[in-house]
Amino acid sequence: MLKYHKTTEEEKRLICGWRYEEEYAVYNVPSYEEQKEKHRGFANPKNDFYSFYDGSCLIAYVNLIEESAAVFLGIAVHPDCCGRGYGPQIVRIACGISRRRYPKKRIRLEVRAWNIRAVRCYEKAGFHIVGETYRKTAPGGEDLFCKMEAD
């Protein structure tokens, strides 16, 4: 059974060291110290992070950002844990947290259109694509994205 809690400072530093390979390298993030200097990512007070564990292993984190009409969900799974079935479980738990904290708000996320593995994960957790793909500049560079909402 997965356990979660609010992300600690130590966990933020560890997560910033995660390194994805090949096309997934767009998900690599700067060091925590750099994020703190720029008040972005883990250092942005708008963000609400939760760390997920399988036993003693930190396997993922989620971010819930309250917006005016919805809650924006972000998720990252440790590179060594991708493709092992954790994603849908974590997304469902994160949706539960969001619904308890923000009961009247829809849950939305964005995903790179080419990341079929992530799209399928979100679909298994009850999300569906809304609208057309769109071009956006994100921390990993410019790309095509899909918007998804929870059912």
d(CA 113, CA 51): 25
Q: Given this model, what pLDDT does residue 99 score?
A: 96
Torsion-angle region of residue 10: left (phi > 0), alpha (psi -120 to 50) or beta?
alpha
Instruction: Give residue 78's domain range.
Output: 2-108
Torsion-angle region of residue 73: left (phi > 0), alpha (psi -120 to 50) or beta?
beta
Q: How many domains does the chain have?
A: 1
- pLDDT < 50 positions in the chain: none
68 falls within a domain = yes
Q: Given this model, what pLDDT does residue 22 score?
A: 95
Q: What is the pTM of this model?
A: 0.93
150 falls within a domain = no
82 falls within a domain = yes
149 falls within a domain = no
d(CA 43, CA 26): 20
Read off the pLDDT of residues 88-100 as tens digits, 9 standing for 90 and up: 999 999 999 999 9
Torsion-angle region of residue 139: left (phi > 0), alpha (psi -120 to 50) or beta?
alpha
Read off the pLDDT of residues 20-38 as tens digits, 9 standing for 90 and up: 999 999 999 999 999 999 9
| Cα atoms in the Cβ-side hemisphere of radius 13 Å centred on 80 | 7
114 falls within a domain = no
Q: What percent of the chain has pLDDT over 90?
A: 95
Q: Given this model, what pLDDT does residue 1 score?
A: 85
Q: Given this model, what pLDDT does residue 141 score?
A: 84
Whether residue 3 contacts residue 61, with contact meaning beta carbons closer than 8 Å, is answered with no
- Please give the angle made by the CA atoms of 133, 115 and 77, to the nearest 5 degrees: 130
Look up the CATH number of the domain holding residue 35.
3.40.630.30
148 falls within a domain = no
Which neighbouring-strand residues pair with 74?
63
Q: Identify the residue whose tokens are 């079935």.
A: 85
